[in-house]
Chains A and B, each alone.
Chain A
């Protein structure tokens, strides 16, 4: 991973409390797993930045090295790597995700 890519990632996760590295955009996800995580954040009404790794090959590979995680999507909350699709889905269902959002003072709404 080159220095530029590392700085880009650092900046994104610093700038955005909720940052999702994904394939495609929140409005037009290009992969089912990215769509799933994006949808969960939408359900919780969380304001998030979707970073489309398909627009940048360096970033697509770099984020895997950065997080030591081989797949995309990847969710960061206040600079902390939380997990990929499987983990977020589990945490969403167990409401552990809600708890982390609360603990990190990130605004969300629970719709019934």
Chain B
């Protein structure tokens, strides 16, 4: 199972329209990504809440189609 980089970006963008997103395919296998996301939606939220926002934008794909996504969130 794998997921396309553009697809990940689109899901996040749909949920967080103002987000600046930088995604890297870490292993080149379509399975291990890292994402840096800057959004105003993270303001005043704990890290756990921020990551949950990103996970929920991926609509259940995290942990299934998408094996590994390292997330770094920053408030805009």
Contacts and interface: CB of A to CB of B under 8 A. Distances in A.
A107 to B, nearest CB: 24
Contacts of A70: 55, 60, 62-63
A83 B47 contact: yes
B52 A90 contact: no
A86 B51 contact: yes
A68 B63 CA distance: 12
Label chain B's interface by main secondary structure. Answer: mixed
Contacts of A90: 47, 72
B48 A86 contact: no
- Chain A interface bracket (under 10, 10 to 19, 20 to 34, 35 or more): 10 to 19
Nearest to B61: A70
Nearest to B58: A70
A86 to B, nearest CB: 5
Contact of A86 (B52, B62, B63, B72): B72
Interface of B: 47-48, 51-52, 55, 60, 62-63, 68, 70-72
29 contacts: A33-B68, A64-B63, A68-B52, A69-B48, A69-B52, A69-B55, A70-B55, A70-B60, A70-B62, A70-B63, A71-B55, A71-B62, A71-B63, A81-B48, A83-B47, A83-B48, A83-B51, A84-B51, A85-B70, A86-B51, A86-B70, A86-B71, A86-B72, A87-B47, A87-B48, A87-B51, A90-B47, A90-B72, A91-B47
